[in-house]
């Protein structure tokens, strides 16, 4: 932003002396061509395949997790009636290549996705079933996975469907989880829900929203997941998913799911201090800070200018390659931010400290802690709220 290169100064009380003027606000275009063009027509980009790991001791192989009886309303609060979820056989699913692994543990969060496909106006049950079959075919035939990657699918007409086989039976049982393939590192500890459509510039239909809310509430109830523990795919990966608009609605989703469960969330609980998704076409202080961090990491050459152009895309891609990211795509999201935002201590000089200074000026904060670690970075980069947890899957997950 044209500030002279300077050293970062903390006061003796840990306050940062900020000399830079605040940068322009973050600007993200409606569609980032490079990122979006890589997405296949029916579903979001697949994570790159990883070598299979040795199954962990907690894994339970085989198909013994047969679907249980459909959940009744017995014991559920009046507000959380079990939503109707069509089983795989109802939408005409193919048989998986081999039975999905079932883990003897409960998931701890829900990940919200969008399919990045067309925003159809065919809200029929027939269209919903075609959607589920299309995703399954893509995941099995193009990605080479054993079955659909996600646990559940919701159409724009609001029809809710089982994704990977046995997911519904295990949900109804409330004790075990089917291993999915919807996000590396989150395939056992998180239930993945694919929502039909692309929600970068528009909101989901009311029917989809209501079904998403009901599905999340039911999953929270059966697995004992707190309604605060709903996240977007981008919180953990370098992806646009679930789209800027739907992602921005997650605080509302947490609040409404909590309401169905008879709880109220504070604004802080409903919000999350996450990593901003930056991509080609973005500009402003967050981009400038990212550029300083990229230069600190040795992948950006030249002076940071707050513009996420080709040079920055290349620098992010180099950084992702060096860190063996699953998503090497030039998009800076929840997978690469934690590695890029390294710990900075008071008195440090250099580009990482300069990034702190840019953000402190942008946020108009008068004091920065002596140690800028992930929670501090998230506060400087994000919108406030409680930190996004980082726990990942146990060893032994196939990711396919």
- Least distance (Å) from Zn ion to the CB of residue 241? 3
Verify binding: residue 233, Zn ion, rule CB under 5 A. yes
Verify binding: residue 113, Zn ion, rule CB under 5 A. yes
**Cα–Cα–Cα angle for 137, 185, 42, nearest 5°?**
25
- Least distance (Å) from Zn ion to the CB of residue 331? 12
Which two tokens mark 158?
């609001």
Report the residue number, 230 or 241, with the smaller CB distance to Zn ion.
Answer: 241
Q: What is the largest CA-CA distance in the chain?
A: 67
Kindly state the helix (H) or strand (E) to which residue 254 belongs, with its residue range: helix 250-260
B/e letters for 326-342, b = 16+ CB within 10 Å, e = fewer, are bbbbbbbbbbbbbebbe
Report the residue number, 46 or 241, with the smaller CB distance to Zn ion.
Answer: 241
Which range binds Zn ion by CB under 5 A, 88-96, 231-239, 309-317, 339-347? 231-239
- Least distance (Å) from Zn ion to the CB of residue 155? 16
Report the residue number, 327 or 357, with the smaller CB distance to Zn ion.
Answer: 327
Tell me the C-alpha to C-alpha distance, in Å, between residue 102 and each of 19, 129, 363.
Answer: 55, 25, 45
- Least distance (Å) from Zn ion to the CB of residue 50? 17
CA–CA distance, 151 with 165 (Å, rounded to integer): 8
Verify binding: residue 295, Zn ion, rule CB under 5 A. no
Verify binding: residue 101, Zn ion, rule CB under 5 A. no
Report the residue number, 109 or 295, with the smaller CB distance to Zn ion.
Answer: 109
- Least distance (Å) from Zn ion to the CB of residue 77? 30
Report the residue number, 70 or 390, with the smaller CB distance to Zn ion.
Answer: 390
Which range binds Zn ion by CB under 5 A, 107-115, 132-140, 168-176, 244-252? 107-115
Answer whether the bond into residue 174 is a cis peptide, omega within 30°: no
- Least distance (Å) from Zn ion to the CB of residue 43? 9
CA–CA distance, 180 with 24 (Å, rounded to integer): 41
Verify binding: residue 109, Zn ion, rule CB under 5 A. no
Which range binds Zn ion by CB under 5 A, 142-150, 225-233, 308-316, 347-355? 225-233
Q: Are 24 and 44 in contact (CB under 8 A)?
A: no
| Burial class of residue 41 in the structure, from the number of CB atoms within 10 Å of its CB (0-12 exposed, 13-18 middle, 19+ buried) | exposed
Verify binding: residue 241, Zn ion, rule CB under 5 A. yes
CA–CA distance, 136 with 241 (Å, rounded to integer): 18
Report the residue number, 198 or 211, with the smaller CB distance to Zn ion.
Answer: 198
Report the residue number, 241 or 313, with the smaller CB distance to Zn ion.
Answer: 241
Report the residue number, 45 or 65, with the smaller CB distance to Zn ion.
Answer: 45
Q: Helix (H, G, I), strand (E, B), or coil: what is residue 182?
A: coil
Q: Are 285 and 362 in contact (CB under 8 A)?
A: yes
Which range binds Zn ion by CB under 5 A, 54-62, 120-128, 227-235, 348-356? 227-235
Report the residue number, 59 or 238, with the smaller CB distance to Zn ion.
Answer: 238
- Least distance (Å) from Zn ion to the CB of residue 153? 12
B/e letters for 86-102, b = 16+ CB within 10 Å, e = fewer, are bbbeebebeebeebbbb
Residue (of 395, 364, 252) closest to 18 by Cα position:
364
Which range binds Zn ion by CB under 5 A, 26-34, 112-120, 149-157, 330-338? 112-120
Instruction: Determine the size of the site formed for Zn ion (CB under 5 A).
Output: 4
Residue (of 109, 251, 259) closest to 177 by Cα position:
109
Q: Give me the 40-69 binding string for Zn ion, x by CB under 5 A, dash otherwise.
A: ----x-------------------------
What are the residues binding Zn ion (CB under 5 A)?
Answer: 44, 113, 233, 241
């Amino acid at each position: 932003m044209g500030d002279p290169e300077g050293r970062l100064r903390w006061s003796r009380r840990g306050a940062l002396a900020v000399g830079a003027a605040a940068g322009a606000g973050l600007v993200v275009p409606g569609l980032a061509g490079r990122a979006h063009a890589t997405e296949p027509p029916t579903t979001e980009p697949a994570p790159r395949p990883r070598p299979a790991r040795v199954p962990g001791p907690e894994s339970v192989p085989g198909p013994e997790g047969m679907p249980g009886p459909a959940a009744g309303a017995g014991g559920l609060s009046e507000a959380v009636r079990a939503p109707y979820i069509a089983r795989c056989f109802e939408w005409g699913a193919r048989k998986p290549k081999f039975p999905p692994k079932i883990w003897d543990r409960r998931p701890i969060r829900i990940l919200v996705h969008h399919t990045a496909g067309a925003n159809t106006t065919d809200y029929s049950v027939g269209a919903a079933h075609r959607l589920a079959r299309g995703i399954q075919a893509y995941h099995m035939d193009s990605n080479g996975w054993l079955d659909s990657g996600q646990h559940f699918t919701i159409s724009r007409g609001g029809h809710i469907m089982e994704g990977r086989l046995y997911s519904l039976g295990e949900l109804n049982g409330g004790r075990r989880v089917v291993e999915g393939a919807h996000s590396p590192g989150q395939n056992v500890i998180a239930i993945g829900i694919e929502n039909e459509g692309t929600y970068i510039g528009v909101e989901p239909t009311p029917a989809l929203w209501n079904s998403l809310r009901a599905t999340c509430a039911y999953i929270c109830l059966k697995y004992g997941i707190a309604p605060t523990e709903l996240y977007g795919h981008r919180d953990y990966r370098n992806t646009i998913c679930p789209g800027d608009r739907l992602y921005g609605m997650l605080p509302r989703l947490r609040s409404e799911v909590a309401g169905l469960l008879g709880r109220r969330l504070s604004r802080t609980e409903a919000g999350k201090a996450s990593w901003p998704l930056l991509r080609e076409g973005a500009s402003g202080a967050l981009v400038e800070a990212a550029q300083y961090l990229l230069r600190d990491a040795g992948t950006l050459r030249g002076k940071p200018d707050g513009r996420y152009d080709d040079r920055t895309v290349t620098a992010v891609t180099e950084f992702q390659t060096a860190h063996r990211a699953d998503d090497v795509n030039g998009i800076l999201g929840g997978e690469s931010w934690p590695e890029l935002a390294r710990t900075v201590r008071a008195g440090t000089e250099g580009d990482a400290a300069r990034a702190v200074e840019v953000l402190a000026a942008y946020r108009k904060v008068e004091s920065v802690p002596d140690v800028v670690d992930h929670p501090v970075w998230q506060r400087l980069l994000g919108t406030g709220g409680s930190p996004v947890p980082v726990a990942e899957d146990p060893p032994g997950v196939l990711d396919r």
